[in-house]
Amino acid sequence: MQLNPRLTSFRTYPFVALDEARQRALDRGLTLLDFSVGDPHEATDPAIRQALVDALPERSSYPKGAGLPELKQAIAAWFQRRHGVALDPEAEVMPTLGSKEAVFSLPFIAMDPAGPRNVVVVTEPGYPIAERAAVMAGGRVRHLALRESNRFLPDLDELSPSEWDEVAILWVNYPNNPTAAAAPLSFFEDLAARAARHGFLVASDEAYSEIYFGTPPVSALEVPDRSRVAVFNTQSKRSSMTGYRSGFVAAPPELIQGYKLWRPLAGVAVPEFIQRATLRALATEDHVERMRGLYAAKRDLFLELFRDRGVRVAGCEATFYLWCATPDGETSEAFAARLLERGVVVMPGSSFGEAGEGYFRVALVPTLEECQQAAAILADVL
């Protein structure tokens, strides 16, 4: 059988390679404290779990492709409360099977690979799905580096006006994975103005919008002209619901219509009982504030440890990640491998692209007790 060469051209997905290394360590009898994947260890709020149980039907049936009207209304209401942006629930909102479904689908919906505008711009280091989706859809990919010297914001002038004219989609992700940086509203205003001039779509992945330790991060949809702006968000991080696969797209009506045309082809829709649980999650902020407090305690623990041991924390503004510089003369993979030998799992920065070399990412997802155990080990290693 001949597999799609675009598919086989990718290097091993970073988390697959990490799983293999983790399993080898377990096979050697190591006990691991895992700070690699952003999958919270804390329990999902009991009220959310109960809402799911209560919504389980006696008879299973296909969910509605466009999502429950009441969930779309709840998403729009949450966006109004949180960001002061009024969305039309039916025309500008679509629930999705997590955010990955929507992120991967976007270039198949909003890019013509045979047309003059077939470039997808992604930032690096970054989440690899946006880039790989562009390749699978037949697009060309351009990278913009996120440099510490520029507060992990891309230099948009690295592309000339004629190059911007070839762009179909520009992906940004703030609060950012893996750098933990946040972006000001002025940055999104610049993006929206460029999009209006050059005709591309700004795609803003805002999965970590609710995990912050100071001023709440802004949304790209807060710009005055949002006609070329799409936002992708998820309950995975906000409500510790990674396994529920519940997210949404908020975008101009023509893009939402594109998703409605695409979904029957891809065959994915959010099960109704998941949508009912999401309704409960969106109804309250109590559990979100509680989780922010837990992440803050973990963050403070590691910031103190790294400060005492001379480890430079380059990014810690938002998200549940710390983006840290590796010791001088040690690659990110070598440093991660050294920690793995002591039972602490982190992500080497190179897993997120060449621009991530020289850093490692700590995901503050284990329990506070597990974080304290890891801190004791790291105090001896560093």
Average pLDDT over residues 170-178: 99
Summary mean pLDDT of the chain: 95
Residue 14: predicted pLDDT: 65
Identify the weakest region by mean pLDDT among 16-25, 283-292, 300-309: 16-25
Residue 15 predicted with pLDDT over 70? no
Residue 380: predicted pLDDT: 92
208 burial level (CB within 10 Å; 0-12, 13-18, 19+): buried
Residue 180: predicted pLDDT: 98
pLDDT in tens, 88-146: 999 999 999 999 989 999 999 999 999 999 999 999 999 899 999 999 999 999 999 99
Residue 10: predicted pLDDT: 80
Q: Are 320 and 38 in contact (CB under 8 A)?
A: yes
pLDDT in tens, 256-274: 999 999 999 987 789 999 9
Average pLDDT over residues 354-361: 96
304 burial level (CB within 10 Å; 0-12, 13-18, 19+): exposed
- CA–CA distances in Å: residue 165 to residues 3, 43, 121, 161: 33, 47, 12, 6
Residue 48: predicted pLDDT: 98
pLDDT in tens, 303-352: 999 999 999 999 999 999 999 999 988 999 999 999 999 999 999 999 99
Domains belonging to the chain, first-starting first, are 5-44+286-381 (3.90.1150.10), 59-282 (3.40.640.10)
Residue 151: predicted pLDDT: 97
Residue 61: predicted pLDDT: 87
How many CB atoms are located within 10 Å of the residue 9 CB? 10
Residue 215 predicted with pLDDT over 80? yes
Q: Are 95 and 275 in contact (CB under 8 A)?
A: yes
